[in-house]
Amino acid sequence: MRTVDLIQRKRDGGELTPEEIEFLVEGYTNGDIPDYQMSAFLMAVYFSGMTDREVSRLTECMLQSGDTVDLSAVPGVKVDKHSTGGVGDKTSLIVAPLAAAAGVIVPMMSGRALGHTGGTLDKLESIPGFRTDLSAEEVQRQLADMGLCFIGQTDRLAPADRKLYALRDVTATVESIPLISSSIMSKKLAEGVDALVLDVKVGSGAFMKKQVDARRLAQTMVGIGRRMDKKVQALITDMSQPLGYAVGNALEVMEASQTLQNAGPADLTKLSIELAARMIYLGKKTASLDDARRAAEQALVDGSGYRKLKQVVAAQGGNPQALDKFELLPNATGMREVASPRGGYVTSIDAQDIGVASNLIGAGRDRKEDAIDPAVGIILEVKAGEKVDAGSVLCRLYYTKEDRVEEAAEMVEDAFRISAQRPDERELILEVVG
C-alpha cells in the first residue's frame, strides 16, 4: 500500500477501505507517514469528505491508537459533555458541577484553546494551583468520592488525535465534518463514558457557520455513538455572538462562578441548565427530561452545584476561595473601553472577531507552544438586540501588555453592527439531534 495512492483516491472523491484507513492512522501515529503527506490527505478529506463507513473506521482507529480508560470500578452511569468550540463558552465549568450535584458521574475531559475558540483546561488553570494532569488512580478516586473530575487528554489517550489535531490547526483543515467528528468522538470514547451530551455550535464564532452543516456534524457524531453502543445527544446552539459577557480565561471563571450562584447572564444560564438536564437524564437520574431540568435548576438555586465546583477545585489543588474572591485570580493591569460610534440597536456581535481580538491581547495562542495570559480578555457591556447611545461603552478590553491593544480594539469595534432597526431575536437552542 502506498500513501500517495490513498491521497490521490481521496482527492478524486473515492472511498478508502477500512484497512487503508488503518494504514494511514497507524503510519502517521508511529511516524512512518510524514506530516507533508498527512497534510495532503487531510486537505483531500476537507474537500472530498468521507462516507459514514470511512468516518466510523477513522474514529475506531484513532480510538485504538492509544489506551482506553476503564471506569467500570466506579459505580454509576458516566456522562460527559463536549462543545465543538465557541467564544465565551464556559458552560463546562457550570454544567459538570450541576450534573454531578444531581448525582451523575462526570469524568470531564476537556481541551485547550483552538484557533479563535477558548479551552476549558486553560480557563481552569487560571485558578491558582489547579492541576488537570490527574493519574488514572486519582481520577477513579475522585469520581468515586465526589462524582466529578476535570482532566486533559494525556499522551496515551487517542494519540492519533493529538497529532492530527495539531497538524489540522496549522494546515487549515479544522472545519471538516469527518475530521471534527472523529477527533471528538475518538477521545470521548477512549475516556470510558457511557453517554455524551454534545453542544454543536453554529454561527460566526463556530467552526460550522451554517445550520445545515452543524446538523450534519451532529448527526455524524450521534451516528458514531450509536454504532459504538453509546447514548449521544446533541444540541445545536447559536454562536453568532459570544455566550454570556466574558471572554478570556480568568474572566470566564468569574462569570461561571457567578452563574453557579444564580447571578449569571440569561443566555449562559439557560444553555447550562439545558445541557446539565440532558446529562442528568442520560445519566438515568430522573424518569423524564422535565424532571431532569428541575433537578438542574435545583442544583443551581440551592447552591449545591457551586459547592461541588469548589470541592473539585480544592481536590485538584486549586484555591476554592478564588471563586468568591476574584482578586485571588490573575488580574489585568490595564483596561481600554470601546465606545459605540453611533446610537441604535446592536444587531450582531461577530463572535469570531471577538475571539480573535481576545487572542491578540494574549488570551489564546498563535502557536501551540505559546503561553496564554490568564488575566486578559474582553467583557461585553451589551448583547445583540440592545439599544445603545453614541459614545456608550460596548465592551472593555482587559490587558497586561499594551502592544496589540489598539489593533484588538479596532477589531472589536468592527465586530459590533449597530443599526436603526431592532433585529429579530435569535433562538439560542436551535435543534436537538439524537
Residue 355 within binding range of ligand URA, rule CB under 6 A = no
Residue 164 within binding range of ligand URA, rule CB under 6 A = no
The overall longest dimension of the chain from CA atoms, in Å, is 66
Distance, in Å, from the CA atom of 299 to the CA atom of 18, rounded to the nearest integer, reads 45
Work out how close the CB of 182 gets to ligand URA at its nearest, in angstroms, rounded to a whole number. 8
CA dihedral of 214, 215, 219, 221, whole degrees rounded to 10: 10
Q: Which of residues 282-301 bind ligand URA (CB under 6 A)?
A: none
CA neighbours closer than 13 Å in the CB half-sphere of residue 150: 31
Distance, in Å, from the CA atom of 385 to the CA atom of 113, rounded to the nearest integer, reads 28
Candidates 172-180, 249-257, 319-327, 424-432; binding stretch for ligand URA (CB under 6 A):
172-180
Candidates 173-181, 234-242, 310-318, 324-332; binding stretch for ligand URA (CB under 6 A):
173-181
Work out how close the CB of 394 gets to ligand URA at its nearest, in angstroms, rounded to a whole number. 29
Residue 184 within binding range of ligand URA, rule CB under 6 A = yes
Q: Rank residues 84 and 259 by Cβ distance to ligand URA and give the closer one.
A: 84
Q: Treating both helix axes as pointing N-terminal to C-terminal, what angle do 35-48 and 3-11 enclose, rounded to 10 degrees?
A: 20
Work out how close the CB of 298 gets to ligand URA at its nearest, in angstroms, rounded to a whole number. 31
132, 316 contact by CB (below 8 A): yes
Beta strands in 294-390 (DSSP E): 334-339, 344-349, 377-380, 387-388
Q: Which of 56, 64, 65, 84 binds ligand URA (CB under 6 A)?
A: 84
Candidates 94-102, 178-186, 250-258, 341-349; binding stretch for ligand URA (CB under 6 A):
178-186
Active-site residue set = 82, 161, 168, 183, 187
H or E stretch including 370?
A: none
Distance, in Å, from the CA atom of 22 to the CA atom of 34, rounded to the nearest integer, reads 16
Strand partners, 338: 395
Work out how close the CB of 189 gets to ligand URA at its nearest, in angstroms, rounded to a whole number. 12
H or E stretch including 335?
A: strand 334-339
Burial label for 389, CB within 10 Å (0-12, 13-18, 19+), is exposed
Q: Rank residues 62 and 357 by Cβ distance to ligand URA and give the closer one.
A: 62
Q: Rank residues 84 and 126 by Cβ distance to ligand URA and give the closer one.
A: 84
Q: Which of 140, 183, 240, 241 binds ligand URA (CB under 6 A)?
A: 183
Q: Which of residues 103-142 bind ligand URA (CB under 6 A)?
A: 111
161, 187 contact by CB (below 8 A): yes
Candidates 33-41, 177-185, 309-317, 329-337; binding stretch for ligand URA (CB under 6 A):
177-185
Q: Which of 69, 101, 134, 180 binds ligand URA (CB under 6 A)?
A: 180
Q: Which of 85, 242, 264, 364 binds ligand URA (CB under 6 A)?
A: 85
Q: Which residues of 199-212 are buried (b: 16+ CB within 10 A; e: fewer)?
A: bbbbbbbbbbeeee
Candidates 139-147, 179-187, 354-362, 414-422; binding stretch for ligand URA (CB under 6 A):
179-187
Distance, in Å, from the CA atom of 315 to the CA atom of 297, rounded to the nearest integer, reads 25
Q: Treating both helix axes as pointing N-terminal to C-terminal, what angle do 52-63 and 159-169 enclose, rounded to 10 degrees?
A: 120
Q: Residues in contact with ligand URA, total (CB under 6 A)?
A: 9
351, 204 contact by CB (below 8 A): yes
State how beta strands 387-388 and 344-349 pair. antiparallel
Work out how close the CB of 180 gets to ligand URA at its nearest, in angstroms, rounded to a whole number. 4
Q: Rank residues 363 and 379 by Cβ distance to ligand URA and give the closer one.
A: 363
432, 235 contact by CB (below 8 A): yes
Work out how close the CB of 165 gets to ligand URA at its nearest, in angstroms, rounded to a whole number. 6
Work out how close the CB of 259 gets to ligand URA at its nearest, in angstroms, rounded to a whole number. 23
As given in the structure block, the three cell numbers for residue 98 are: 450541576
Q: Which residue is nearest to ligand URA (CB)?
A: 183
Q: Which of residues 229-258 bind ligand URA (CB under 6 A)?
A: none
Contacts to ligand URA by CB under 6 A:
84-85, 111, 165, 174, 179-180, 183-184
